[in-house]
A and B are shown apart, each in its own frame.
Chain A
Amino acid sequence: MALLGMRGLSVFISDVRNCQNKEQERLRIDKELGNIRTRFKNEKGLTPNEKKKYVWKMLYIYMLGYDVDFGHMEALSLISAPKYPEKQVGYIVTSCLLNESHEFLRMVINTVRNDIIGRNETFQCLALTMVGNIGGKEFAESLAPDVQRLLISSSCRPLVRKKAALCLLRLYRKNPDVVNIDGWSDRMSQLLDERDLGVLTSVMSLFVALVSNNNEAYWNCLPKCAKILERLARNQDIPQEYTYYGIPSPWLQVKTMKALQYFPTVEDPNTRRALFEVLQRILMGTDVVKNVNKNNASHAVLFEALALVMHLDAEKEMMSQCVALLGKFIAVREPNIRYLGLENMTRMLLITDVQDLIKRHQAQIVTSLKDPDISIRRRALDLLYGMCDVTNAKDIVEELLQYLSTADFVMREELALKAAILAEKFAPDLSWYVDVILQLIDKAGDFVSDDIWYRVVQFVTNNEDLQPYAAAKAREYLDKPALHETMVKVSAYILGEYSHLLARRPGCNPKEIFTIINEKLPTVSKPTVAILLSTYAKILMHTEPSDPELQEQIWAIFRKYESYIDVEIQQRAVEYFVLSRKGAALADVLAEMPKFPERQSALLKKAEDAEVDTAEQSAIKLRSQQQTSNALVVTDQQPVNGPLPINQLGLVRIPSQKMEASSHNQGLTKENGAVSKVDPEPAPSADFLGDLLGPLAIEGPPAATVSAEQNMISGLEATPNAADALALATVGDQSNSVQPIVNIAERFHALCLKDSGVLYEDPYMQIGIKSEWRAHHGHLVLFLGNKNTSPLLSVRAVILPPTHLKVELSLVPETIPPRAQVQCPLEVVNLRASRDIAVLDFSYKFGTTVVSVKLRLPAVLNKFLQPKSVSAEEFFPQWKSLSGPPLKLQEVVRVVKPMSLPEMTNLFTSLHLGVIPGLDTNSNNLVSCTGFYSESTRAMLCLIRVETDPSDRTQLRITIASGDPTLTFELKEFIKEHLINIPTPTPAPAPSPALAAAALQPQSPITRAGYTDPGVMLAGLL
């Protein structure tokens, strides 16, 4: 055995083992270290065998957790020994003791290189392994070409090449330039043909590293990976030593499927088919067997196959099969499989939309929350968190609350945070939210961070309806014998603000409220004392008529704290005492707290920042990303005093009707509407607006400039109303403005080509649209979502239809409750062909801010078209029968946006103009046919021919024929608009003040773009 001749090492290990306690062990080790040090000092007297022995002792000592700060040189020097046993020890111990940045390593680069390029295979392996484990940048620079050569050399044996592959992987990570990407995709592809499974296993690791960095460069390797998987899965030509319990190398199978997951998709149909066949076999053919190892190995392959299917199955054909399998797994006895079932379900939620399928297993997942194993409980919690939505939030959050009382201490904080986030995000009503948070504080006060109770206070303050309820609840909790301090804080705060709303209920008169809160005073900490003092002051203020006895009690407390050591408390006590003697002044100063500005939930922020394990983190991140698309969730607020929303977003804003009614002509109105009046002098924004609206201001009330400005903001709101609103508003609110946070023009254009999406969004609300078109009927649904914690008021939506459309909008509720979404169906009937556009005039009030916008509705001409495919026999007789104007019109269109024929075909297809290939013998021409539907024309066939000039793509000739002259003309103009002015997305809204200020300058190009947008002009004309 190897240890023969190293008796000293055995003796030492055995000595250490026999030590009775840590102290003895330390003494023995110190003695040995001293011994080794002395022996190394006199290196000349050491035989190679002795040196080897001491180096192993060092490694042993290091492994036990003792510092070994000498002898590295001796270990390193063994690398240069001529004989294998010493060299081996040198390499292995060096890679255990030193790290890549150790300066000594530099000294052996040459020796290592000589071993790598030398003829001795065993030396090559040792050197490659050490470099593969601890090689740094310098190694990468000097050794990479040699290592590459070994990897691809045909004369090298597999045992060297497999190490070369992983060595190269290390060098590549340290310095990616060592692998020349261009040439490597072909090399890699050849390497993947390798028959030796040891080499293939290493090569696959190298391949994964390269692909994860740049999958595009390695497309050519995709079929090879599929082949390897096929070979393994079908057990073709697999040597016995690479089968593990009858399964062809499960590790290589897993690795290969991992490699495939780094490609976004598999396009080649043959490869795809072959791959899915294999995957299907794995999914269906994996049975539970008695042998644990075989079972684990086959399930390792199965879980990887599931992951790959989830990644690749864009059509979701196999998704329900996957979920069914996972559903089976989470209910089995074997804890490992249960754990992995839950983990994979969570992961599935992250990458595909299978929420509904997974919800079917909710009961089982909830059961797992009570599993005896904390690892499984964690996975269950994560999954429940991930699968929660409005439909199941109540159930899930209540389960979490129930679990909270029995949960492990290590999990409580996370649990509390998750329950709070879900309650906030998916609350069906706000009183439920208040219930949940109060229960949370009650059950796990220690684990409820301040953010959670701040948030509930914020909700209550912003929602008047909620205040009596919250106050009553807070009062109930105060009756409980042992109350968490956080509960004292939150109930004292809420009762201070709103207990007067409860005054008539039993046990809720000011004195009773005060008494029950004051019972807690002796036991609470300083920050809570401060809150209680404020509460007392507020109770005093709300006591009508004043109660001298209560007053005296509270004053006594204030006086007591006047000399308190903590300044904050002292200050409050002094101030409240003085104030409360001033009678009415108290009420002014201590009025109700103002509403909080909307802001991102601190909880979500916290969850994002929190250092939780990676899987959880990704789930939380995903949640917060979804947040932006979820109309019910609070997002960051735009700066309150942000710049005025000017037309850079293509948002149609027309000053009030009053404006039109005023002596100014329509032309000016239009210009104002688009804010495109060219003002030669760049003036400060307020003045500019004042000037612009000057004539109006004369008619208005005295606060002319301000109200004019407000008028500008509020759009349709008539001036006197705006002034009224101002009287109530605080100064800071006057310049409030609301900017859309999406590019409205872009949204409109996108919705012209598709049937559902977001039409408009600002910090407070979001309008989505979903539409269905059948012949000349359109059925649209507007989704009005309130993103706030307080209601949107005075909601008003009016459709300004052009004459060719009959539009009926169902009743829009005046108020949209906090975080709710209302759906308003909208019926459209097309009477005849026209390019005019219906406009949605929409306004609402948020606090004192009135927001009013005009949005073009995507009920445009092409929505009433249906592409038709006709044969030449049908087409030409029609084409000929419709001869000459006004049924057939021809026009040469210039200044066309240059595009190739396929591009034009795409454009036509997206406009529902069916292009019929091969109908026109000239390949530069394009023929298309579509059916138009309206009440007056019913279905009418339209034939279109476009002749292009390959030498000049900026012009073309278009001929359009249909049985209705208006239709022919309108369709021609409609197509022309799209050919000439392809709506390009305007730059995304940039809320930076500088840019917005630039937009205020009338000559800014962005404003001009808005002006030339025909839709804006059109809407402006309405």
Chain B
Amino acid sequence: MAIRFILLVNKQGQTRLAQYYEYLTLEERRALEGEIVRKCLARTEQQCSFVEHRNYKIVYRRYASLFFLVGVDNDEVCPSVLLNELAILEFIHLVVETMDRHFRNVCELDIMFHLETAHFMLEEMVMNGCIVETSKTNILTPIQLMDKAS
């Protein structure tokens, strides 16, 4: 199981953050994002948080106007070991909580205007599709150090 991409999209369908852990050409990204966003945004609160799309399973969560979408796929070597959707779902929440601790009441605009901070956070949390760190303190330490320096 590996995370293939993390997308933050607002309810108008505008991408606010995109981080891919596998290479897709620009056209492929555009098509994929369009399809996924259309699929997920049409869903209601009563529906589950998982959507199957092509070879991906999209695990998503909505926070106010912002959708967090994570694309995961199964292990190619051993397809019987399935991914764990709930673990991904809570990982999204961990990302949000981490952002919240840093920005204090994070909102769409924080992420939009502090794109690089959002990238630094993800960089501390995920590497090559694997989760590296889940301690908020550890994730935020380098960012806070840099903020102090500048």
Contact = CB atoms under 8 A, between A and B. Distances in A.
Given A65-B26, A133-B128, A201 B134 contact: yes
Interface in B118-150: 119-120, 123, 127-128, 130-138, 142, 146-147, 149-150
Interface string B12-41: 000101111101001001100100000000
B79 A618 contact: yes
Interface residues of B, number: 66
A523 interface: no
A242 interface: yes
B79 A614 contact: yes
B47 interface: yes
B48 A162 contact: no
Contacts of A372: 44, 46-47
A56 B113 CA distance: 11
B77 interface: yes
A372 B45 CA distance: 11
A71 interface: no
A2 B86 contact: no
Contacts of B81: 212, 258, 261-262, 307
A184 interface: no
A270 B121 CA distance: 41
Given A132-B128, A378-B52, A67 B26 contact: yes
A564 interface: no
A65 B117 CA distance: 20
Mostly, the A contact residues are helix
A88 interface: yes
Interface stretch (A249-257, A510-518, A627-635, A717-725): A249-257
A205 interface: yes
B48 A304 contact: no
A297 interface: yes
Interface stretch (A40-48, A92-100, A666-674, A704-712): A92-100
Interface stretch (A3-11, A141-149, A272-280): A3-11
B127 A197 contact: no
Contacts of B119: 92, 96
Interface in B61-89: 73-75, 77-82, 84-87, 89
A241 B136 contact: yes
B91 to A, nearest CB: 7
Interface in A54-88: 56, 59-60, 62-65, 67, 84-85, 88
Given A56-B116, A133-B128, A262 B78 contact: yes
A597 B79 CA distance: 36
Given A170-B128, A613-B52, A373 B47 contact: yes
Contact of A293 (B29, B90, B117, B128): B90
A980 B146 CA distance: 81
Contacts, number: 197
Given A163-B132, A351-B80, A614-B55, A250 B87 contact: yes
A614 B76 CA distance: 10
A205 B79 contact: no
B59 to A, nearest CB: 10
A618 B120 CA distance: 38
A92 B150 contact: no
Given A297-B90, A336-B50, A375-B51, A63 B15 contact: yes
B115 interface: yes
B112 to A, nearest CB: 6
B95 interface: no
User: On chain A, which size bracket covers the interface?
Assistant: 35 or more
Contact of B87 (A14, A59, A300, A343): A300
B92 to A, nearest CB: 10
A71 to B, nearest CB: 15
Given A2-B114, A13-B112, A201 B33 contact: no
Given A241-B138, A242-B135, A339-B50, A59 B127 contact: no
A2 B110 CA distance: 12
A89 interface: yes
B45 to A, nearest CB: 10
Given A304-B84, A338-B48, A613-B55, A17 B112 contact: yes
Contacts of B19: 96
B117 to A, nearest CB: 6
Contact of B147 (A1, A67, A311): A1
B115 A56 contact: yes
A166 B133 CA distance: 11
B107 interface: no
A92 B78 contact: no
Given A241-B137, A244-B134, A613-B55, A60 B1 contact: no
Contacts of B20: 96
B90 A296 contact: yes
A258 B1 contact: yes
A303 B123 CA distance: 28
Contact of A340 (B33, B86, B150): B86
A375 B50 contact: yes
B34 to A, nearest CB: 9
B140 to A, nearest CB: 11
A65 B47 contact: no
Contacts of A159: 138
Nearest to A65: B30
A213 B15 contact: no
A129 interface: yes
A58 to B, nearest CB: 12
A63 B17 contact: yes
B138 to A, nearest CB: 6
A299 B113 contact: no
Interface in A337-357: 338-340, 343, 347, 350-351
Nearest to B131: A251
Contact of B116 (A2, A125, A205, A252): A2
A163 B127 contact: yes
Given A261-B81, A303-B84, A372-B47, A129 B123 contact: yes
Given A2-B150, A10-B113, A375-B52, A296 B135 contact: no
Nearest to A121: B142
A300 B146 contact: no
A347 B82 contact: yes
B128 A65 contact: no
28 contacts: A1-B150, A13-B113, A63-B18, A85-B146, A92-B119, A162-B132, A166-B127, A166-B130, A166-B132, A198-B132, A198-B133, A205-B130, A239-B135, A241-B135, A242-B134, A242-B135, A244-B90, A249-B134, A250-B87, A251-B90, A251-B91, A254-B87, A258-B84, A300-B86, A300-B87, A307-B82, A336-B49, A338-B48
Ranked 10 nearest A-B pairs via Cβ: A300-B86, A335-B48, A99-B23, A241-B135, A373-B47, A205-B130, A300-B87, A339-B48, A166-B127, A212-B77
Given A300-B87, A307-B82, 18 more contacts: A13-B115, A62-B26, A63-B17, A65-B30, A122-B142, A163-B127, A166-B130, A212-B81, A249-B134, A251-B87, A261-B78, A300-B89, A303-B86, A304-B87, A335-B47, A336-B48, A373-B46, A614-B74
